[in-house]
């Protein structure tokens, strides 16, 4: 099983600042990597697939990069609605998720 | 608009059974796989079982704590609804259960493009 490790577990950021979330795979997943956002009581929402392609309707302030084993999700200027839990997921070999990064207001 | 709505969660005793439903709309139910994913308290997301829309094949993880043999999927095409029958439930099955539409069919490199809001299953005496 491919293990996905996200860091940090919690990220404290002020509105308007940049947030950088990391995700590492225990073996190469090529660019078969997705990012999801989840808010309390809501369904997870797909943000990024193919490591860097924004899903439909996702604002341009969200960007993804990386390939192989190292990936990054960047939120260029945090808005109030962006404070949430973020998961990475590999879909190269079935599916496994990271433990999540909580982005909270500083 | 794609929508997925889970229902059927609740409190059940260890060894008991529960049937979850996933009502889907806004896409061709027979052309996409649907995956059940759960999140246990204090843990991350874990896929539980997957169902291929085109031929009804069901898939399970190879992990030691897989639900294979206890959980089964069925489908009512007329209702665009998928069911997850959960038997011999254990305390460790306590979780929020989500159904998610995949971007294609199992067998390709697919991710989950739409999710339901989840239904809570609590296994406790």
Q: What is the pLDDT of residue B64?
A: 59
**For an interface test with B, which of A9, A87, A94 has the most B Cβ atoms less than 10 Å from its Cβ?**
A94
Q: Which residue has the tokens 């796989």?
A: B33
Q: Let me know: does B69 contact B90? Beta carbons within 8 Å.
A: no
Nearest Cα neighbor of B8 from B81, B78, B79 is B81
Q: Looking at CA atoms only, how far is residue A73 from chain B in angstroms?
A: 17
Tens of pLDDT, residues B67-125: 888 999 999 999 999 999 999 999 999 999 999 999 989 988 899 999 999 999 999 99
Please tell me whether residue A82 adopts helix, strand or coil conformation. Answer: helix
Q: Per mean pLDDT, which range of A51-55, A70-74, B29-33 is the poorest?
A: B29-33
Chain B touched by A55 (CB under 8 Å): yes
> Roughly how many angstroms between the first and final C-alpha of chain A, as a whole number?
35
Q: Which residue has the tokens 């660019």?
A: A31
Length of chain B: 125
Q: CA A64 to CA A53: how far, in whole Å?
A: 7
Distances in Å between the Cα of B48 and the Cα atoms of B5, B92, B99 are 17, 13, 10
Q: Which two tokens stand for residue B76?
A: 């009512």
Mean pLDDT across the stretch A38-57? 95
Q: What is the pLDDT of residue B104?
A: 86
Q: What is the pLDDT of residue B68?
A: 87
Nearest by CB to residue B44, choosing from A32, A43, A97, is: A97
Q: What is the pLDDT of residue B108?
A: 85
Chain A touched by B112 (CB under 8 Å): yes
Given pLDDT bands bounded at 50, 70 and 90, which one contains residue A15?
A: very high
| Mean pLDDT estimate for chain A | 96
Q: What is the pLDDT of residue B113?
A: 96
Q: In this complex, do A32 and B63 lie within 8 Å of one another by their Cβ atoms?
A: no
Q: CA A92 to CA B37: how far, in whole Å?
A: 17
Chain A touched by B63 (CB under 8 Å): yes
Chain A touched by B115 (CB under 8 Å): yes
């Amino acid at each position: 099983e491919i293990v996905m490790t996200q860091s940090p577990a919690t990220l404290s950021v002020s509105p308007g600042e940049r947030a950088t979330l990391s995700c590492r795979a225990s073996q190469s997943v090529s660019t078969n990597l997705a990012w999801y956002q989840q808010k309390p009581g809501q369904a997870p929402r797909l943000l990024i697939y193919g490591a860097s392609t924004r899903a439909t309707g996702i604002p341009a302030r969200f960007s993804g990069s990386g390939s192989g084993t190292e990936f990054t999700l960047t939120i260029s200027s945090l808005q109030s609605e962006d404070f949430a839990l973020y998961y990475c997921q590999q879909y190269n070999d079935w599916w496994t998720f990271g433990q999540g990064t909580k982005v909270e207001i500083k | 608009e794609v929508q997925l709505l889970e229902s059927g969660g609740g409190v059940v005793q260890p060894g008991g059974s529960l049937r979850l439903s996933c009502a889907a709309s806004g896409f061709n139910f027979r052309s996409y796989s649907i995956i059940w994913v759960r999140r246990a308290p204090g843990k991350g997301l874990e896929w539980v079982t997957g169902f291929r829309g085109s031929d009804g094949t069901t898939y399970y993880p190879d992990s030691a704590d897989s639900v294979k043999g206890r959980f089964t999927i069925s489908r009512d095409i007329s209702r665009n609804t998928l069911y997850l029958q959960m038997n011999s439930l254990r305390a460790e099955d306590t979780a929020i259960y989500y159904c998610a539409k995949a971007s294609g069919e199992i067998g390709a490199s697919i991710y989950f493009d739409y999710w339901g809001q989840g239904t809570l299953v609590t296994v406790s005496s």
